[in-house]
Structure 1
Amino acid sequence: MATTDRNPRQATALALAHALSAAERGLAVIPLSRTKLPALRSPHRDDPTAPPCQGGCGRPGHGVYDASTDPARIRELFAAAPWSTGYGIACGLPPHHLIGVDLDTKSGTDSATALRELALRHLFTIPPTVVVLTPSGGRHLWLTGPPHVVVPNSAGRLAPGIDIRGAGGYLVGPGSRTDHGVYATAPGTAHLVPAPCPRALLRLLLPPPRAPRSTSPTAGGAHGRGLVQFVLAAHQGQRNTRLYWAACRAYEDGIGDALSDALVDAAVRTGLTPREARSTLASAARMTHPQRSPHPGLPHPHPDPDKPL
């Protein structure tokens, strides 16, 4: 049943209070609208030529990349979106490295049974953890992942009706009001902390390893290995810049295509997502060889340093 609020300001104030409470637990949050989408629109929406931006421009409106645990910043975001009635919790960020298991009911499948069958088949159990009930009758299970392991978002890959919220995704926080109802913590779980994801389940959430290429991952000999090590040594704030510089050198020396997988793997190990890494490689290829790109169709990223969330 849809919810109606006679006092929109009160609904926003309530959402802000819940968001600040989540932030006190180390969960980075953003304001959401009644549609469960980020409440703030992109500042680049009217510029079709703008490169992908993850908040490096300094303006709000970048979805999950706006997420923060800083109370002052959170208040600023909600002040800029007074129509907010909920909040999203960013997944994959320290200290919790949150993973959300979304058991959907709208697909017409019994997702809870599907998860139990997976658990029996792969010999794992879901430990007691935070469970959020959705207005549609579904459930969100909150789990934590190990540092430096990037769990991707997926929809139905694990089993029909089971979606995964990982790095770059978010969960609707309990207390959020939407057009279809209110999200609420399941009885008996509000006092819990997110439990570690069972290892057997974690293995299922990670993408399968890629088949080895015929070309050596250390193409270019010592020079290629040096470029990979240069990327691996990157710290937060310089990961994208180091990858871009190394990729430019590789393409200039004629080993870019052969070294691309090794560079992407190195960048992912430092914290970038595979898509971010390959987008940066595509940009480097265009910079060094304007008439070609090894990854057609990928957006042209801005080679600025990656910004901490």
Structure 2
Amino acid sequence: MPTSDRQATTLALAHALSAAERGLAVIPLSRTKLPALRSPHHEDPVDAPQCHGECGRPGHGVYDASTDPFRIRELFAAAPWATGYGIACGLPPHHLIGIDLDTKSGTDSSAVLRELALRHLFTIPPTVVVLTPSGGRHLWLSGPPDVVVPNSASRLAPGIDIRGAGGYLVGPGSRTDHGVYSTAPGTAHLAPAPCPRTLLRLLTPPPRTKTPPAGGPSHQGRGLVHFVLGARVGQRNTRLFWAACRAYENGIGDDLARHLTDAAVRTGLTEREARATIASAARLTAGRNEAL
């Protein structure tokens, strides 16, 4: 029997209140997974970026997140069309970090995470796992209070997005246009497990690297080139794009572009395809800080 919007809102509120009891700050979400409440500054875009809720009105996205049952009921009452809820990351007591294993990129992100764990010698402890309607998974981890983990898209590895400070995760029980989010069997009773220290270091961006010395690529650049060279059929563009994004984020993109192009050609891409992919990465990273 189909669930009506009114029933979905009632269920979402119940799930949100249950999450708040566990110390997780929540906000109402629409079926599109976006915050359900419109910004009170939508007619005055100059003020919008500066206000994070100081005006006292709801509609500031993740900055509205609360564990107070009365406040949560107020937010849902103001958004009777909400069918889900978001869980704010980076806030005490859990300082939640979300590992989003995507399925839409064409990459087996679960396998990529296992490969990353083997390479860097860490294991993901038993923790909360949320199943997405598209077949992806969200792993919940707890971070230390003195480390700020930023949001990122495929920075850690292809197909793996990170939700940290200023971001949110769709909570289990939420209903979206694509289906319902649910907790993986056997994980609902768990608390978010501490993030392994090695993984935490990988999630924290290093300082931007200055232009490398003349000649061949830097140590970091060589690692990115080898990453591209290891691509199999079906991974070549994805790996090249990911490596180019990391290079531009760390200030060595222009210097490494030629080496990345050569590596991509050796895997089977044409030079034209490789250059187009690297150019796309350059354009994306130029505005990524604002987008996140």
Fold equivalence (TM over 0.5): yes
Match of 2:203 in 1: 205
Return the alpha-carbon distance in structure 2 between the equivalents of residues 161 and 113 of structure 1: 10
Deviations 1:207-260 (A, max 9, x none): 102459xxxxxxxxxxxxxxxxxxxxxxxxxxxxxxxxxxxxxxxxxxxxxxxx
Return the alpha-carbon distance in structure 2 between the equivalents of residues 73 and 96 of structure 1: 20
Match of 2:36 among 39, 42, 57: 39
Return the alpha-carbon distance in structure 2 between the equivalents of residues 86 and 101 of structure 1: 19
Q: CA deviation at 1:48?
A: 2.7
Deviations 1:59-90 (A, max 9, x none): 00000000000000000000000000000000
Distance 1:60 1:51, change over 3 A: closer
Match of 1:162 in 2: 160
Match of 1:74 in 2: 72
Return the alpha-carbon distance in structure 2 between the equivalents of residues 93 and 45 of structure 1: 26
Q: CA deviation at 1:148?
A: 1.5
Q: Secondary structure at the match of 1:141?
A: strand
Return the alpha-carbon distance in structure 1 between the equivalents of residues 46 and 138 of structure 2: 37
Match of 1:50 among 27, 47, 52: 47
Return the alpha-carbon distance in structure 1 between the equivalents of residues 46 and 156 of structure 2: 36
Q: Secondary structure at the match of 2:59?
A: coil
Q: Secondary structure at the match of 2:141?
A: strand
1:1-309 alignment runs, 5 A limit: 5=3, 7-52=4-49, 53-210=51-208
Return the alpha-carbon distance in structure 2 between the equivalents of residues 31 and 51 of structure 1: 19
Q: Percent identity?
A: 86
* Structure 2: tracts of 5 or more residues without a match: 211-288
Return the alpha-carbon distance in structure 2 between the equivalents of residues 42 and 51 of structure 1: 8
Return the alpha-carbon distance in structure 1 between the equivalents of residues 209 and 156 of structure 2: 21
Return the alpha-carbon distance in structure 2 between the equivalents of residues 80 and 67 of structure 1: 14
Match for 1:146: what amino acid?
P
Q: CA deviation at 1:4?
A: 5.1
2:42·2:48 contact (CA, 8 Å) conserved in 1?
no
Return the alpha-carbon distance in structure 1 between the equivalents of residues 98 and 105 of structure 2: 18
Q: CA deviation at 1:129?
A: 0.2
Q: CA deviation at 1:204?
A: 0.3
Deviations 1:145-191 (A, max 9, x none): 00111000000001111000000000000000000000000001011
How many pairs align?
211
Deviations 1:88-113 (A, max 9, x none): 00000000000000000011100000
Match for 1:192: what amino acid?
L
TM-score (norm 2): 0.70
Return the alpha-carbon distance in structure 2 between the equivalents of residues 119 and 211 of structure 1: 25
2:100·2:162 contact (CA, 8 Å) conserved in 1?
yes
Return the alpha-carbon distance in structure 2 between the equivalents of residues 165 and 101 of structure 1: 7
* Structure 1: tracts of 5 or more residues without a match: 213-297, 300-309
Deviations 1:36-71 (A, max 9, x none): 000001000111332521001100000000000000
Match for 1:79: what amino acid?
A
Return the alpha-carbon distance in structure 2 between the equivalents of residues 210 and 180 of structure 1: 38
Return the alpha-carbon distance in structure 1 between the equivalents of residues 5 and 48 of structure 2: 35
Match for 1:45: what amino acid?
H
Q: CA RMSD in A?
A: 1.6
Runs of 4+ displaced beyond 3 Å: none
Q: CA deviation at 1:10?
A: 1.4
Match of 2:250 in 1: none
Return the alpha-carbon distance in structure 1 between the equivalents of residues 175 and 150 of structure 2: 27
Q: Secondary structure at the match of 1:164?
A: strand
